[in-house]
Structure 1
Amino acid sequence: MFLINGEQQEHLPAGDRATQFGDGCFTTARIVDGEVCLLEAHLRRLQDACERLMIPFSDGESLRREMIALAAEKRSGVLKAIVSRGVGGRGYSGGACLQPTRILSISDLPAHYARWRSEGIALATSPVRLGRNPALAGIKHLNRLEQVLIRAHLEQTGADEALVLDSEGVVTECCAANLLWRKGEEVFTPRIDQAGVDGIMRQFCLQQLARSRFRVVEVSVDESALLDADEAIVCNALMPVVPVRAWGEMRWASRELYSFLAPLCEQTR
């Protein structure tokens, strides 16, 4: 089901800048018992992204009402919200775009996440690297061709998720999740100031860890840093947290960090 600017429909104008240039941003939220988990965080993400992309979005309250109403129709699932610059003019200039476009859709929650949480997942290092661009780093914008290529390569392996580096060989994220790893009571996660997405669940996990016995360190390191880890986990708004059991020859059995975060991440409504 789709809502476009509050109307139930599935047709977007061909001139919308989402299709012309990937000119917009999005967020993907988990629905539990008809409610949007971390709704306010998702709305802030969209507003912050619009400000950084200079999209004059002022329909935050309409979007909030639409997200709440759409989620109420589904006990469990996924809600995706997109804001594009809208329609207007031609070429790269968005000066003629007078009204941003709101696009909402709902779908089923991926069934394999429950198995992943129980069994853990395997990572494979992706041959596709993320380009560095501080102006866009952290934003979940609509230009996702890097992730499309990462997924295509991942599907040729037996792994569940990809370990993704940037163009300088720095560990950045996974294909559709953020990465954290633990050494003793120190928890490391990649900096997201050059590339990658600052995920909603990443933000939530870091907030919880800041109030715990663990010490969080944001780092710019190559993949060899994972060789010293006692444990690794991945997270996104839908999973929400999953343990990593293997990466190449590495095997992890510890779930200390996972056991701390998992119950907290289930209390996000």
Structure 2
Amino acid sequence: MWINGVAAATLPASDRSVQFGDGCFTTARVSDGVIEFLSRHIDRLQRAASVLRIEGVDWAALEQEMVLAAGQQQEAVVKAVVTRGQGGRGYSVAGCSAPTRIVSVSAYPVHYHAWRKQGVKLALSPVTLSKAPLLAGIKHLNRLEQVMIRMHLDQTEANEALVVDTSGCLVECCAANLFWRKGNQVFTPDLSQSGVDGIMRQHLIRVLEATSPRGVHIVSEPPSTLSDADEILICNALMPVLPVNQIDNQYYASRRLYDFLLQNC
């Protein structure tokens, strides 16, 4: 792990990421020493920092640190975190002028290889996501809802959670975005109120808009809309795409969309 370019494993307790979750992050896949979609990961962090009004980040240094972390890895995960840096006890950001950069590298989740062949099972989570349009879409450091979703998921036999917001509309999974197909039409949840607009979600939407006359329908629908879906898949930057075989007692067999998108990841 590197903190502001220096090998280190500890962070001052006064850092605002510790005190308030004041920051953002991204998680990238490394293949043969190269970070996939690197520029988009940097763009994502910059957008989140802009929303959070974190200024003064040395983006060139962060990108170089990510590249160096990935350089000797055949298959791995690089995580980059930007915090507002150290500050006082209260909420005010006055005096916070030195953002903190954190880069770490870890092993790739090898179970994704098996899941691409076997497919995955989803379970509807009882934990709902709050609506927060100001923060919707970005990957900020306040992930307590996801921690609670994961805690419940670990008590089931499912591989991932199906998550709705407080209005009962589909949003995403615990750590992935969601797509489904009905005939030749493809759908994905509206993330304007909550959820994370992932790198792979953005990429798949671009692919579908370029190759399908119908593009992608961005909708606010309850989980019942999946009952007559022909196909469901989930995605994130690491997976990158996985077919869904089952949601609770509903089964799905088609992989037409999955096979097409996997070739374009």
TM bucket normalised to smaller:
over 0.9
Question: Could you tell me which residue of structure 1 aligns to residue 87 of structure 2?
Answer: 88
2:15 is matched with 16
Structure 1 position 256, deviation (Å): 0.6
Match of 1:231 in 2: 231
**Which residue pairs with 1:157 in the alignment?**
156
Q: Deviation of residue 89 (structure 1)? A: 2.2
Note if contact 1:200-1:237 (Cα within 8 Å) is conserved in structure 2. Answer: yes
How far has the Cα of 1:148 moved from its partner? 0.3
Q: How far apart, CA to CA, are the structure 2 residues paired with 1:113 and 1:242?
A: 8
Matched, 1:131 2:127: no
Q: Indicate conservation of the 8 Å contact 1:77/1:108, yes or no.
A: yes
Q: Which amino acid aligns with 1:254?
A: S
Determine if the alignment matches structure 1 residue 264 to structure 2 residue 264.
Answer: yes
How many Å apart are 1:73 and its aligned residue?
2.0
2:79 and 2:160 map into 1 onto residues whose CA distance is 21
Say whether 1:107 aligns with 2:106: yes
Contact 1:180/1:188, CA 8 A, preserved across alignment: yes
Contact residue 185 and residue 215 of structure 1 kept, 8 A = no
- Indicate the SS of the match to 1:131: coil
**Structure 1 position 264, deviation (Å):** 1.1
Identity of aligned residues (%): 54
AA at the equivalent of 1:240: P
TM-score where L is the length of structure 1? 0.97
Letter in 2 for 1:56: E
Alpha-carbon distance in 1 for matches of 2:123, 2:168? 15
SS of equivalent residue, structure 2 residue 211: coil
Cα distance in 2, alignment partners of residues 95 and 167 from structure 1: 34
1:243: Cα distance to partner? 0.1
User: Partners in 2 of 1:49 and 1:60 — Cα distance?
Assistant: 13
Q: Which position in structure 2 is the counterpart of 1:185?
A: 184
> Partner letter of residue 248 of structure 1?
D
Q: Distance in 2 between matches of 1:15 and 1:237?
A: 31
Corresponding residue number in structure 2 for 1:117: 116
Per the TM alignment, residue 248 of structure 1 is displaced from its structure 2 partner at its CA by 1.4
Structure 1 distance, partners of 2:16, 2:43, is: 22
The whole-number CA distance in structure 2 between the counterparts of 1:57 and 1:192 is 28
Q: Secondary structure at the match of 2:264?
A: helix
Gaps of 5+ in 2: none
Residue 38 of structure 1 is matched in structure 2 by 37
Task: Please tell me the residue identity of whatever aligns with 1:30.
Answer: R
Q: Name the SS of the counterpart of 1:227 in structure 2.
A: helix
Counterpart amino acid of residue 231 in structure 2:
E
State the superposition RMSD in angstroms: 0.8
